[in-house]
A and B are shown apart, each in its own frame.
Chain A
Amino acid sequence: DAMVIQNPRYQVTQFGKPVTLSCSQTLNHNVMYWYQQKSSQAPKLLFHYYDKDFNNEADTPDNFQSRRPNTSFCFLDIRSPGLGDAAMYLCATSREGGGQETQYFGPGTRLLVL
């Protein structure tokens, strides 16, 4: 089945230690998104890729970076995680089209910062 895959499902890191979260998709969608969701809050868009074009949200901290080496893969790099970065990180994809395409989400990676 075509899908969005996130690895790992749970990630524990130490305060200040760089961490990378992975997302892959078999949908061949050209747009990929990263969201941060803290407990009982709305998922918040961090950035997205339209093909290879990176689009950062204005309020995304510099501590968060992303890479998209090809259509299928997208990575979220947190350079120096703080305690406040503990959250669920959701990857999503969508296809450019008539403007009403929905986003398809992965199961998320829960990040714990010690």
Chain B
Amino acid sequence: DQQVKQNSPSLSVQEGRISILNCDYTNSMFDYFLWYKKYPAEGPTFLISISSIKDKNEDGRFTVFLNKSAKHLSLHIVPSQPGDSAVYFCAPRVGGTSYGKLTFGQGTILTVHP
């Protein structure tokens, strides 16, 4: 039972354009949603997050949108840069703990072409 799905295994975008990465989930107990970025030969690194009480969170070029009714979130990168090329994981967390036990999606490989 896959609770978190990133249905696009890969995405290719031109430098300067917008990248939109999508994530769908089924567990209504998720209360905090994180995005991680992973470069080859490195561990995932935290990128941006959003609480379930919000519908948008912005950090520089990165914005995450949450639609709780649709159980859907998306990560927007504007403008996209070649250095953004990486694997992006959606990783929600079930509420009720004071530390993070995450459920990861399969990841989307983003390639930004110069």
A residues adjacent to B (C-beta < 8 A): 4, 6, 31, 33, 35, 40-45, 48, 50, 90, 92, 94-108
Q: Which of B42, B44, B97, B104 contacts A99 (CB 8 A)?
A: B97
Total interface residues on B, CB under 8 Å, equals 26
User: Beyond A99-B97, A100-B49, A102-B34, is A45–B102 a contact (Cβ under 8 Å)?
Assistant: yes
Inter-chain CB contacts under 8 Å: number: 64
Q: Which of B9, B32, B44 contacts A43 (CB 8 A)?
A: B44
| Chain A minimum-CB-distance residue to B97 | A99
CB atoms of B32 and A100 under 8 A apart: yes
Q: Which of A40, A43, A101, A106 contacts B89 (CB 8 A)?
A: A43
User: Beyond A31-B99, A97-B99, A102-B34, is A4–B104 a contact (Cβ under 8 Å)?
Assistant: no
CB atoms of A105 and B44 under 8 A apart: yes
User: Beyond A42-B105, A43-B89, is A50–B34 a contact (Cβ under 8 Å)?
Assistant: no
